[in-house]
Amino acid sequence: MSESVTEVVEQGDHATVRSVMEGGGLPRYFEYRLERREGEWRIARILSFLDPPGTPLVDAAEAERLLAAPKFDVPLGDIAADLELDIPSLFEAGRLVAPFDTPEPLAVHQLGGITCASGVLTVRDFGYLDFDLEPLAQRIPPGTYPVEVATVAGTNVALRLRLSDLPAATWHPAPRTNGSHIVGVDYGNVAFLDLANLVRCDAQYADELFLLQSEKANPGTTFSLLGEVVDGAMVTSGYGDGGYPCYWGVAADGSRVALVVDFLVLTEDRQVVLTAPWQPGIVDVDDDVEIVEHDGGYTVRHRGGRIRKLRILGPDDAVLMDGDRLGLSVIGDVRSQTWSTSTPAPAGSLLELTVDDGYRHI
């Protein structure tokens, strides 16, 4: 691989050197930030990018599609029946909770206001950059709104954008234009951003801005995407990477009063144990589970990640197979575990499934 300098910009005691490294795959672009100290240039920061300087975060046609998709009147959905939620309790400052065994008080930090002049808000992992930019399906009235984050023992519990001082009478999923109300996280953060300003950024600038805000995001920070107005807020996402639900709080008069991302720190999982006859085919208690017979044993395939444990029990309740002792293969949404055996399970054997049955707030 070879690195070539493409540009040098010097301003007083500061300079920027841009380069590209090619060979061995996709080119990588670098930016060296230099400072003059005691008459000599020193490297203060090195940045690495996948896109060349000036590349838009998204092209004009995609930006137009994204900004046109949200609407003001979007039907409200219902929270899943297997969830027992108490979203206001996530922001009860001083309430004692014990997610880490020792009771600790909840704290609520005011991060400041952010402006969404376009009314098109995206709630996302800022580190994804141009991936999965779909905004909330529901536009919000253009304006400036306070942002706050609830924490316990240094861990963020939930993030809230307050649209009104009215109390929420009901809570509903807040889907994006792709239909999902789950915010996927791979870089340990969740951000509220005015999408109209985000899509005006170039890719390198957005990447650097994310890195700079990451240094301030615990518990959270507000910032400007373009240097014109404070239009972004970013916080660390609870325990880190995962998928976090987003909810609208709706007042008695039907107006939306809050937007909340729950980091699932103050939750208690509920599980249920199901049994079905052990036989090849779709399992009759859960059509996301299939038993496949083949030479050398059986493979149990299940979708969606709801299955936490599986066992095969003989007619006398003896454990013939414990899934915790088997390897797990994951391809997309399908999880597979293979039981290698030369001895088929006797007639009357059962498949026992321990299945997620929602959760409740604590």
The pLDDT tens digits for 53-79 are 889 999 999 999 999 999 999 999 999
Domain annotation covers residue 6: yes
| Alpha helix (H) residue ranges in the chain | 60-68, 195-198, 203-214
Pair of tokens at residue 232: 């972004």
Domain annotation covers residue 274: yes
The pLDDT tens digits for 311-340 are 999 999 999 999 999 999 988 788 999 999
Pair of tokens at residue 96: 């004692």
Question: Average pLDDT, stretch 101-114?
Answer: 96
Which residues, 6 or more positions from 179, have their beta carbon under 8 angstroms from its beta carbon?
137
Share of the chain above pLDDT 70, in %: 100
Residue 306's pLDDT band (cuts 50, 70, 90): confident
- Containing domain of residue 41, as a range? 2-49
In this model, does residue 39 exceed pLDDT 90?
Answer: no
Report the number of distinct structural domains present in the chain.
3
Q: How far is CA 147 from CA 127, 162, 192, 267, in A?
A: 20, 6, 9, 22
Question: For 49-88, what is the HEC assignment?
Answer: ECCCCCCECCCHHHHHHHHHCCECCCCCCCCCCCEECCHH
Question: Within its chain, how far is the Cα of 182 from the centroid?
Answer: 7
Query: Rounded CA gap, 45 and 36, in Å?
Result: 13
| 40 and 108 share one domain | no
Residues forming beta bridges with residue 269, ordered by sequence position:
359
Q: Which of 238, 265, 292 is the last residue of a domain?
A: 265
**CATH classification at residue 19:** 3.10.450.630
Share of the chain above pLDDT 90, in %: 75
Please report the pLDDT score of residue 279 as a whole number. Answer: 93
Question: Average pLDDT, stretch 16-21?
Answer: 89
| 299 and 208 share one domain | no
Question: For 165-213, what is the HEC assignment?
Answer: CCCCCEEEECCECCCCCEEEECCCEEEEEEHHHHCCCEHHHHHHHHHHH
Residue 236's pLDDT band (cuts 50, 70, 90): very high
Please report the pLDDT score of residue 42 as a whole number. Answer: 92
Residues forming beta bridges with residue 298, ordered by sequence position:
293, 339
Pair of tokens at residue 161: 């954008």
Q: Is 155 strand, coil or helix? A: strand
| 227 and 301 share one domain | no
| 117 and 79 share one domain | yes
In this model, does residue 255 exceed pLDDT 80?
Answer: yes
Question: Average pLDDT, stretch 126-130?
Answer: 87
Domain annotation covers residue 42: yes
Domain annotation covers residue 55: no
Pair of tokens at residue 172: 């509903």
| 340 and 314 share one domain | yes
Please report the pLDDT score of residue 261 as a whole number. Answer: 98
| 183 and 245 share one domain | yes
Residue 25's pLDDT band (cuts 50, 70, 90): confident
pTM above 0.85, yes or no: no
| 200 and 101 share one domain | yes
In this model, does residue 198 exceed pLDDT 90?
Answer: yes
Query: Rounded CA gap, 327 and 300, in Å?
Result: 11
Domain annotation covers residue 243: yes
In this model, does residue 130 exceed pLDDT 90?
Answer: no
In this model, does residue 217 exceed pLDDT 90?
Answer: no
